[in-house]
Chain A
Amino acid sequence: MPRVLLIEDDPSVREGVELGLRRRGHEVRTAATGEAGLAALAEFQPDLLLLDLMLPGVNGVEVCRRVREDSQLPIIMLTARGDDFDVVIGLEAGADDYIVKPARTEVIEARIRAVLRRMEAPGGQRPAVEQHGGLTLDRAGLTVTKDGLRLDLAPSELRLLLHLSAAPEQVFSRQQLLEHVWEHSYHGDARLVDACVRRLRNKIEDVPGTPRYIQTLRGFGYRFGPL
């Protein structure tokens, strides 16, 4: 069962979520501040970070940014719907998904599982290692290299890239991507997709302004290639 680090300043939310997740078999460590959370990170070695955005001191967005500096740890933000600005900032800072509070434990756990789920191995004929231009995708090892250099991709970025490249030149609507990559309902928040595409382009494109791998089809969605 995954190890989850929860950084949340409100004691009742912290305890409630901890209790709920622990009952479902997760190993949970909690921290009340960003500093304490960052400290616990190295020692606890979690599989996933549940992060409240509104924290005293070092806030959630800052924590997210610091974690992303040297780690591709999956991060799910805990937010209040309507705090739109924070959501966008958090996604830009590298969060993989977000959960709107208040949420039932089953919802939190479903999101955790979706983020942690390993991409299925490609069906049949396709070799595990693919070459697309300068990109080398290893579907089994879940690594991406560009011109021989290994790229550090956050889980959501990796899943998005693998999903798009599994069907090159096929257009996926943002709602479809939300459903397949994030396992959200069909009516999810498309900003999740846009922010992830933006982050991914910054890492894989030669010129992020004129994307070659992940192309936009205005009004329809995104597609991989043609190269």
Chain B
Amino acid sequence: MPAESRTPHESRTPRGPRRTSGSQETTEFRPERRRRIVPFGLRTRLILAFLLVAAVSAGTTATLTYREARNSVVSAAQDTAVASFRDEVEQMGSTSLPVLPDRLKEDLQRIARKGKPRPWYVYAEYGTLRISSGTNPESSVITPELRRATNSRGRLHGSFERVVKDGVPYLTIGMPVVFRAGGAGVLPTGLALYAVMPMTEEQTQTEALVSAARAGAMPGLVIALLPALLAASSVLRPVRGLRRAARNMGSGKLDTRIPVRGRDELADLARTFNESAGELERSVTELRRAEERARRFASDVSHELRTPLAGMLAVTEVLDEDAERLPPDTARAVRLISAETGKLAVLIEDLMEISRFDARAAELHTDEIDVAETIRRTLQNRHWTGGHPEQVRTDLPDGIRARLDPRRFDVVVANLVGNALRHGAAPVTVRLRRATAVDGTPLVVTEVTDSGPGIRPDVLPHIFDRFYKADAARTRSVGSGLGLAITLENVHLHGGTIRAANRQDVPHVPHDPYGFPEPYAAGSTGAVFTVEIPLDAETPPDPMEDLA
């Protein structure tokens, strides 16, 4: 396939946005899928990762520090309170019995005053008796659990609990009053004392710690952003360079190389890229050279064959004329030589034409022509019209003027009609119409349809191949075997396209403004070749213009 047949718009496909440059290859070829999986670009992800690490480490440090500090603050207060309360309660000990409410209240108030590190509220419970150092005889922060623990026989040393009520933390200590029953034995008196101490001061202290930790962590995060940005750009710059280089390579600049900096993984990647690029360039150059040699060989061979053929072709007439006067065998031999010389001349001409296309030496000599008139002349010159029954039917609306190469367009039409007559069946129909390409370019559409059985599906993809033989038996075709390949090249040279299909596969568009007046009959068969050429095949400087 020639270069121009490679769809040029492919290289113009919008690339995936820079944000999705996470993976060069996937981004380029499957941008849609990629975008769904990775919502952020490499840069964002790198920065986020950096920040996450910074946040986790700062947070962990702060949390651990905070917890340690808070514990030491709280437990210090707690230990002091529990120890001093126990002392007070023990001092009270036996003097507390029997329980006299007035004296007990005095005791409680005394203990409350002695409260360490701060004064407590002290409550006493004895049976149903409730007395406190304050005005409320019963505290609302003492939980049933603490009561149960305090009154249980195994916990004579008292229990404590931290309770938060209405946002205020309290330390509550429960302590049974015991008396020593001689020896080591102690017995609960049934009287339980409770101390309640608000821990607001400790809370204030720990809150100060939290804000200190936060104040330390936030700048840390901001500072972490800096190396994150630096690292991101130091990673991304080579990645971007790589992307640019890969794109250059893709667009054919095979000498693209990336400067290798440093000794890291990205440098390795760059080095690998350069090596691969070098390897690719070498093999492509080698391939091109081989192709060039093959091309020049084909061209040289045809050139060399042409000269002797020119001499031979000039004398075929002499052979044909004199053949009848020769002995029958000699006459047959002479006629054979004459006929084959003619075919050889066609073959060589076609080969030379193909090698000119391959060498991109084929030139377009455009002229503004009436397309219908041109097609009519093509058919007339080959005596395809006017016979009975008519071999070729036409539907050629007048007034379609286009800038084409008349000689090449003649070759296109003649090859298609000749092919249709040879491999399909008469009647062959040639239709001409205008159309508009997807991008708005006005087109002239030529369609050649035959009435044969159509093209076999396995042959269809190869129909424009050079020397392609539809049947496996390598019989020599009537033509050179290059006709459709040359047709394809000629159409491409005009910037047009050619399609081959079978009539039953071509959908008929009923509302096509340029539609065919005579729709295909249902079930009819035959091959359809459709040639679409821009009305203005190209805009070279008008050769007539520079004469003026």
Q: Does A associate with B in a complex?
A: yes
**Which residues does A use to contact B, with CB under 8 Å?**
10-17, 19-20, 23, 80-82, 84, 101-106, 108, 173-175, 185-191, 194, 197-198, 201, 209-211, 216, 218-220, 222
Contact assessment for A198 and B547 in the assembled complex, using a CB-CB cutoff below 8 Å: yes
Contacts of B312 in A (CB 8 A): 12, 16, 102
Contact assessment for B352 and A103 in the assembled complex, using a CB-CB cutoff below 8 Å: no
Contact assessment for A104 and B317 in the assembled complex, using a CB-CB cutoff below 8 Å: yes
Q: CA separation between A194 and B381, bound complex, in Å?
A: 24
**Which residues does B use to contact A, with CB under 8 Å?**
303, 306-318, 321, 342, 345, 348-349, 352-353, 356, 361, 363, 365, 367-369, 374, 377-378, 381, 403, 406-407, 409-410, 542-545, 547-548
Contact assessment for A19 and B315 in the assembled complex, using a CB-CB cutoff below 8 Å: yes
Contact assessment for B544 and A13 in the assembled complex, using a CB-CB cutoff below 8 Å: no
Q: CA separation between A80 and B308, bound complex, in Å?
A: 13
Most buried by B among A20, A186, A187, A219: A187
Name the distance in Å between B435's Cβ and chain A's nearest Cβ.
21
B321: which of A23, A104, A173, A187 is its contact (CB, 8 Å)? A23
Q: CA separation between A121 and B205, bound complex, in Å?
A: 126
Contact assessment for A13 and B310 in the assembled complex, using a CB-CB cutoff below 8 Å: yes
Contact assessment for B381 and A185 in the assembled complex, using a CB-CB cutoff below 8 Å: yes
Q: Given that A175-B369, A185-B377, A216-B544 are known contacts, is A190 also in contact with B314, CB under 8 Å in the complex? A: no
Q: CA separation between A141 and B41, bound complex, in Å?
A: 87
Contacts of A185 in B (CB 8 A): 377, 381, 410
Q: CA separation between A201 and B547, bound complex, in Å?
A: 9
Most buried by B among A14, A15, A173: A173
Contacts of A194 in B (CB 8 A): 543-544, 547
Contact assessment for B308 and A84 in the assembled complex, using a CB-CB cutoff below 8 Å: no
B314: which of A19, A189, A201 is its contact (CB, 8 Å)? A19
| Additional pairs, 12, CB under 8 Å, beyond known A101-B310, A104-B314, A194-B543 | A19-B314, A80-B306, A81-B352, A102-B306, A102-B312, A102-B348, A103-B313, A104-B316, A174-B367, A186-B377, A186-B378, A219-B368
Q: CA separation between A16 and B377, bound complex, in Å?
A: 32
Contact assessment for B352 and A175 in the assembled complex, using a CB-CB cutoff below 8 Å: no
Most buried by A among B306, B381, B406, B544: B544
A10: which of B311, B318, B342 is its contact (CB, 8 Å)? B311
A209: which of B345, B369, B409, B548 is its contact (CB, 8 Å)? B548
Contact assessment for A20 and B307 in the assembled complex, using a CB-CB cutoff below 8 Å: no
Q: CA separation between A91 and B19, bound complex, in Å?
A: 61
Q: What 6 A-B pairs have minimum CB-CB distances, sorted nearest first?
A: A12-B311, A16-B311, A16-B314, A102-B310, A187-B410, A186-B377
Task: List 14 A-B pairs, Cβ < 8 Å.
Answer: A16-B311, A16-B312, A17-B310, A80-B352, A81-B349, A82-B353, A101-B306, A104-B314, A188-B407, A190-B365, A190-B543, A194-B543, A218-B544, A219-B368
